[in-house]
Amino acid sequence: MAEPLLEARGVVKRFGHVQALQGADFAAYAGEVVALIGDNGAGKSTLVGVLSGVLAPDGGEILLDGAPVRFGGPQDARRAGVETVYQDLSLAQDLDAPANLYLGRELLRKGVLGRLGVLDRPAMRRDAVRAFAELGVTLKDPTAPVAALSGGQRQSVAVARAVAFANRVVFLDEPTAALGVVQRARVLETVRRVADRGIGVVLISHNMPEVLSVADRVEVLRLGRRVASLRAADTSIEELVGAMTGSLDRADGSAAAPEPSLQASGRQPELEPEQQPEPDEVPEQQPSDEEVR
Amino acid sequence: MTTTETRPRPHAQTLVARTPPLLRRAAGIGELWTFLILAALVVFFTIAAPGKFFTAYDLTQIAVNAAIYLVLGVGMTYVVITAGIDLSIGSVLVLAAVAAGEWNIHHGGAAAGWGTVAICVAIALAVGAAWGALQGAVVATEKVPPLIVTLGGLGAALGIAELATGGQDPAEAAANNLQNTLGFGKLLGIPWLVILAAGVTLVFGLVLGLTRFGTHTFAIGSNPAASRRAGIRVGAHLVKVYALMGLLAGLGAVMWLASYGTTSIAGHSTDNLKVITAVVLGGTSLFGGRGSVLGTVIGVFIPAVLNTGLIVIGVQQYWQDVAVGVVLVAAVYIDQMRRRTRERS
């Protein structure tokens, strides 16, 4: 594959005494769905926070199209074409879908009215309806507050917002966790379609069958490090779970050489030292709390 | 690998989008039922006191009484939409009036010229806006809830005003020039106070409904974390909103001085409750994210109409306080229920 769109190299992030990321690597490529999996406290959310500009890393580097970057905040990342769909969707429930789509980058009218900050509602509505249509979503009433929509539609609004502006990478944090079967299929279909546009899609998920069905590649995080980077087609749920929990290392770590599927990702899985200090369950919420302050 | 699939099927969507779901939207508007209450009150008093209530004099009186509360209510609408509250407005009004009044006393008193009047107006507006901005800056730190920040502000602003005046309303705080124009003057039979209040209401109603500033105000009240992630500078916006509230309290001080000619240091302790009541009656949610200036207009007029109406039909006007209190609690109850049903869906 070509150069990664977005890459993390040896990223370190500490919260007080807890080291959430201890030299984590990660890469997202154009047109690819890469799943980022790991047990609770493995550092998934922290890594996503760092890559989407929400958290400042304490060490390591982030490369965008091969060049090192420093995101001062989520806006910086967004400006670089890196969008995030947060687990809580991050929508303003009382505003309608077009207003949410353009939250923070509203379209203004031309001329004097625009200078006064008057919104171009018709244009925003038009674009929003088009953006939703591209995802195969029809909004009955685009002027209804998001709170009045179903869970699936709300999800679509959040995804549409990210996709409409992302031209490099989209992070989706547990996008299907709160959805029913049909909506779940819808979102996964969308994920695929977004990747087909040449955008790098990063899917954070707990759901192994889902990961295997939609992702091209799976990166496994354990204890703040990448322990495996596998092709989805060549792996299995057992292998993923093994990599996540570390039982795989123990089982055949020194014995057989890692299968070709366990392609080295800078750091061999069996190098994972057993005596590593176990950061007891880094609370995943911590980073997002941090950001709220 | 890059097969861009863009097959817009927008026709059906836009058609659906264009059909205005008028009925549904009308029913969903928070202002509607408050407006019906207001209309019912007007009809009731008109019938109960034929030829007495619905006279030009009473209408003018109602409007003049409501003008200052309306100006304060417009600012409060913004604050409440951000899920905040400002208890300090009465004290800020007094502080601004005292600051302007003191300048007036030392620069011509009642006979002061237009230059002094202009400076007094500027002082009142500046003092109000500065106090509001200060409170907004503390609120923006998110370390102290707005209720407490402005409760502190209520005490502090009043205290400073009393320190400056020794607790007595100073004489000659307002110039005759101000009182005879803005205070008692009329344009085509409409008092200037009413015109001023209507202008302020219109401008800030449009700003709230049509501009980016308004949208960000709603967004912050709706979901501050999401607003921040979307790149909205939440803290700076809150400072502006509270500064606007203070500015309008300063304008209220000018209107008060023009209308009554005195600072009324002790007369504004319940302004905050009256104004917050009006805002909430108008359908603005105390939990933030929803509300409108139009609703506040209606909310301001309900107590005003009640007050005048009860006097006209010979009922003790204190019943007004009872009625408004009951309606206020009911309004918040309904808002809370609506929110709950929404979250359940």
Per-residue pLDDT tens digits for A31-84: 899 999 888 888 888 888 888 888 888 988 899 888 898 888 888 888 888 988
Which residues from chain A sit within 8 angstroms of residue B221, using beta carbons? 94
Q: Chain B neighbours among A 35-54 (CB < 8 Å)?
A: 54
What is residue A18's three-state secondary structure? strand
Q: Poorest-confidence range of A251-255, B178-182, B197-201?
A: A251-255
Q: Supply the pLDDT for residue B171.
A: 81
Q: What percent of chain B has pLDDT over 70?
A: 89
**Highest-scoring range by mean pLDDT, A106-110, A153-157, A174-178:** A106-110
Q: How far is A90 from chain B (nearest CA, A)?
A: 5
Strand A33-38 to strand A200-204: parallel, antiparallel, or no bridges (unpaired)?
Answer: parallel
Amino acid B61: pLDDT? 77
> pLDDT tens for residues B336-345?
777 776 665 5
Give residue A248's pLDDT. 60
Q: Contact B226/A92, CB-based, under 8 Å? A: yes
- A212 SS3 class: helix
Chain A segment 190-249 residues within 8 A of B by beta carbon are: 193, 196-198
β-bridge pairing A59-64 and A67-69: antiparallel
Q: How confident is the model at residue A270 (pLDDT cuts 50, 70, 90)?
A: very low
Q: How confident is the model at residue A249 (pLDDT cuts 50, 70, 90)?
A: low
Residue of A nearest to B140 (CA): A293
CB within 8 Å: A133 and B290: no
Look at residue B191 and tell me whether its pLDDT is greater than 50. yes
* The pair of three-digit structure tokens given for residue B3, joined into one six-digit string: 């097969």
Q: Using a CB-CB distance cutoff of 8 angstroms, which residues of chain A are in contact with residue B290?
A: 94
The dihedral built from the CA positions of residue B145, B148, B152 and B154, taken in this order, carries a sign that is positive
User: For residues A252 and A193, which has the higher predicted lDDT (pLDDT)?
Assistant: A193
More confident residue, B323 or B205: B205
Angle A203-A207-A210 (CA atoms, 0-180°, nearest 5)?
70
Beta strands in chain A (DSSP E): 6-15, 18-28, 33-38, 59-64, 67-69, 82-85, 169-173, 200-204, 217-222, 225-231
* Amino acid A282: pLDDT: 43
Q: Does B176 touch chain A (CB under 8 A)?
A: no
Residues of B with Cβ-Cβ distance to A129 under 8 angstroms: 10, 13-14, 17
CB of B25 within 8 Å of a chain A CB? The answer is: yes
Angle at CA of residue B104, ends B102 and B109, nearest 5°: 115
Specify which residues B187 forms β-bridges with.
B190
- Lowest average pLDDT, out of A66-70, A194-198, B7-11, B334-338, goes to B7-11
Q: Is A227 exposed, middle or buried (0-12, 13-18, 19+ CB in 10 A)?
A: buried
Give me the percent of chain A exceeding a pLDDT of 90: 8
B51 vs B211, residue with greater confidence: B211
Q: How confident is the model at residue B77 (pLDDT cuts 50, 70, 90)?
A: very high
In the prediction, which pLDDT does A289 show? 41
Burial status of residue B318 (CB atoms within 10 A of its CB: 0-12, 13-18, 19 or more) = exposed
- Give the C-alpha separation, A91 to A205, whole Å: 20
Residue B341 contacts A, CB cutoff 8 Å? no
Domains in chain A: ranges and CATH: 6-93+166-292 (3.40.50.300)
- The C-alpha torsion from A97 through A102 and A103 to A106, rounded to 10°, is -130
Cβ of A193 and B5 within 8 Å? yes
CA-CA distance, B239 to B48, in Å (whole number)?
47
Give A146-199 as a DSSP string: GGGS-HHHHHHHHHHHHHHH-SSEEEEESTTTT--HHHHHHHHHHHHHHHHTT-
- What is the C-alpha separation between B287 and B29, in angstroms, rounded? 17
pLDDT, average across residues A279-285: 43
Lookup result for tokens 């203070």: B246
Query: Residue B78's pLDDT band (boundaries 50, 70, 90)?
Result: very high
B-chain residue closest to A142, CA distance: B17
Spatial CB neighbours of B36, under 8 Å, sequence gap ≥ 6: none
Q: A198–B1: do the CB atoms touch at under 8 Å?
A: yes
Closest residue, chain A, to B287 (C-alpha): A94
Q: Among A176-180, B40-44, B71-75, B203-207, which is the least confidently predicted range?
A: A176-180
Both tokens assigned to A168 = 């490099």
Answer for the pair B315, B307: CB distance below 8 angstroms, yes or no: no
Amino acid at B121: V
**pTM for the model:** 0.81
CB contact under 8 A, A117 and B213: yes
pLDDT, one tens digit per residue, over A134-164 is 777 777 788 888 888 887 788 888 888 888 8
B83: CB partners within 8 A, 6+ apart: B220, B221, B224, B286, B287, B288, B289
What is chain A's length? Answer: 293
Query: Whole-angstrom distance between the N-terminal and C-terminal Cα of chain A?
Result: 40
Is B231 in contact with A75 (Cβ distance < 8 A)? yes
* Domain architecture of chain B: domains with CATH: 32-338 (1.10.3470)
Does pLDDT of A255 surpass 90?
A: no
pLDDT digits (tens, 9 = 90+) for B17-52: 444 444 444 444 556 777 888 888 888 888 887 777
Q: Searching chain B, which residue's CA lies closest to the CA of residue A99?
A: B215
CB contact under 8 A, A94 and B289: yes
3-class secondary structure per residue, chain B = CCCCCCCCCHHHHHHHHHCCCHHHHHHHCHHHHHHHHHHHHHHHHHHHCCCCCCCHHHHHHHHHHHHHHHHHHHHHHHHHHCCCCCCCHHHHHHHHHHHHHHHHHCCCHHHCCHHHHHHHHHHHHHHHHHHHHHHHHHHHCCCCCHHHHHHHHHHHHHHHHHHHHCCCCCCCCCCHHHHHHHHCCEECCEEHHHHHHHHHHHHHHHHHHHEHHHHHHHHHHHCHHHHHHCCCCHHHHHHHHHHHHHHHHHHHHHHHHHHHCCCCCCCCCCHHHHHHHHHHHCCCCCCCCCCCHHHHHHHHHHHHHHHHHHHHCCCCCCHHHHHHHHHHHHHHHHHHHHHHHHHHC
B-chain residue closest to A289, CA distance:
B225
pLDDT of residue A150: 80
Residue A228 — pLDDT band, cuts 50, 70, 90?
confident
Region A230-250: what's the mean pLDDT? 78
Contact A99 B215 (CB under 8 A): yes
Give the residue with greater pLDDT, B237 vs A279.
B237
Question: 3-class SS at A245?
Answer: helix
Assess whether pLDDT exceeds 80 at residue A20: yes
Residue A104: is its pLDDT beyond 50?
yes
B252-289: pLDDT as tens digits: 999 999 988 888 888 888 889 889 999 998 888 888 89
CA dist B29 and B10 (Å) reads: 28
Query: For A160-173, what is the mean pLDDT?
Result: 87
Average pLDDT taken over every residue of chain B: 84
Per the CB < 8 A criterion, the answer to whether B258 and B68 are in contact is no
Q: Please say whether the beta carbons of B118 and B181 come within 8 A.
A: no
What confidence tier does A258 reach under pLDDT thresholds 50, 70, 90?
Answer: very low
Q: How far is B75 from chain A (nearest CA, A)?
A: 19
Tokens of B242: 């509270």
Q: Kindly identify which residue of chain A lies nearest to residue B229, measuring between CA atoms.
A: A74
| pLDDT over threshold 90, residue A257 | no
Which residues, numbered 141 to 180 in chain A, qualify as contacts with chain B under a Cβ-Cβ cut-off of 8 Å?
141-143, 147-148, 150
Residue type, B229: R
Radius of gyration of chain B (CA): 22
The CA distance from B303 to B321, in Å, is 8
More confident residue, B205 or B315: B205
pLDDT at residue B146 tops 90: yes
Which of A29, A45, A95, A121 has the highest number of chain B CBs within 10 A, making it the mutation to test binding with B? A95
Mind telling me how many Å the CA of A262 is from chain B's nearest CA?
Answer: 24
Q: Please check the confidence at residue A259 and state whether its pLDDT lies above 50.
A: no
Q: With beta carbons less than 8 A apart as the criterion, state whether B271 and B300 touch.
A: no
Which of A204-208, A232-236, B52-56, B89-93 holds the top average pLDDT?
B89-93
Among chain A residues, CA nearest to B211: A118
| pLDDT value of position B342 | 62
Q: Do B219 and A148 touch (CB under 8 A)?
A: no
The answer to whether residue A266 scores a pLDDT higher than 60 is no
Chain A nearest-CA distance from B281, in A, is: 19
B-chain residues near A125 (CB < 8 A): 17
State the smallest CA–CA distance between residue B148 and chain A in angstroms. 19
Answer yes or no: do A92 and B218 touch at CB < 8 A: yes
Over its C-alpha atoms, chain A yields an Rg (Å, rounded) of: 20
The larger pLDDT score, comparing residue A291 to residue A45, is at: A45
pLDDT range class, residue B74, cuts 50, 70, 90: very high
